Amino acid sequence: MAVLEFDVTGPVVEWRGPAPHHFVEVTGDLAEQVYEVARQVTYGWGMVPVRLRVGATTSTTALWPRGGAYVVPLKVAVRRAEGIDLGDVVTVHVEVQG
């Protein structure tokens, strides 16, 4: 059951590390709304379980807290299915799971 639903639009950014990840950032009012429900649903380290949809592709993952905001990781399978590249502007429908 979703305790919060929203759409976020932004560029796909990369975090470079031992295992690079691609994200869309959740900032401002949306990040504040997530923060308000995070304690109810987090499974540790501030991770917030979500179901997401990009285009026709759905996936489960978790929002990661980052610098007072959150980031939505975009799995390789989602990016491939939707033809998403680094820097593309995408809209992600997010359902915070409770």
**Tens digits of per-residue pLDDT, 4-35?**
999 999 999 998 877 789 999 999 999 999 99
| 2-97 has CATH 1.20.120.1200 classification | no
Q: Are 85 and 12 in contact (CB under 8 A)?
A: yes
**Tens digits of per-residue pLDDT, 69-85?**
999 999 999 999 999 99
Three-class SS string for 52-90?
Answer: EEECCEEEEEEEEEECCEEEEECCHHHHHHHCCCCCCEE
User: For tokens 């639009």, what's the residue?
Assistant: 9
Looking at residue 22, its pLDDT comes to: 97
Looking at residue 58, its pLDDT comes to: 98
Looking at residue 50, its pLDDT comes to: 98
Looking at residue 17, its pLDDT comes to: 77
